A and B are shown apart, each in its own frame.
Chain A
Amino acid sequence: MNINATLIGQSIAFIMFIWFTMKFVWPLLLKGMEERQARIADGLAAAEQGQKDFADAQEKSTIEINKGKEQAATIISQAQKRGDEIVEEARDLAKKESERIKESAVSEIEQEKEKARQDLRNQVATLAITGAEQILMREVDQNAHNEVLTKISKEL
């Protein structure tokens, strides 16, 4: 336990290690740590920004969705209205058409009736003449009695 030159050797080693640490270890370590600190801070800020952006986007999308829903509802109601209109129109059209058909049918029937009556009239006239001929046993001059015949057939 005596003091000897180990003292000097230790001092030299001490100075060497301090020098080495000061030159190569401390600045590098501190610089690296500071850089990383800055990077972490940036990352955190970016994450926060991202979160904010996400919230904004979510809000925006909700608004858009609501808008879309509203639009869809309007479109649907419009379509319904339009559908009702179309149905109404169709109904009107059909009514008109049916009336027209009915009218034409009625006029046709009327015509047919008229025609049938005409025929009947003619036949009745012919029958009447034939009957009269039988009764009179002679030929009835159609032209001479045309006036009468027409009168009769008109009365039928």
Chain B
Amino acid sequence: MKFIVIGGDAAGMSAASRAKRQDASLEVIVLEQSQTVSYSA
């Protein structure tokens, strides 16, 4: 299954990481418009 995430911040990276951890067969692609993912404010 192909799971695409638009936005690589708190919600996006939390979902991507946990989904991949729980099901290694998932294809997970994160599209992030900036050069930074998962920053914390």
A binds B: no
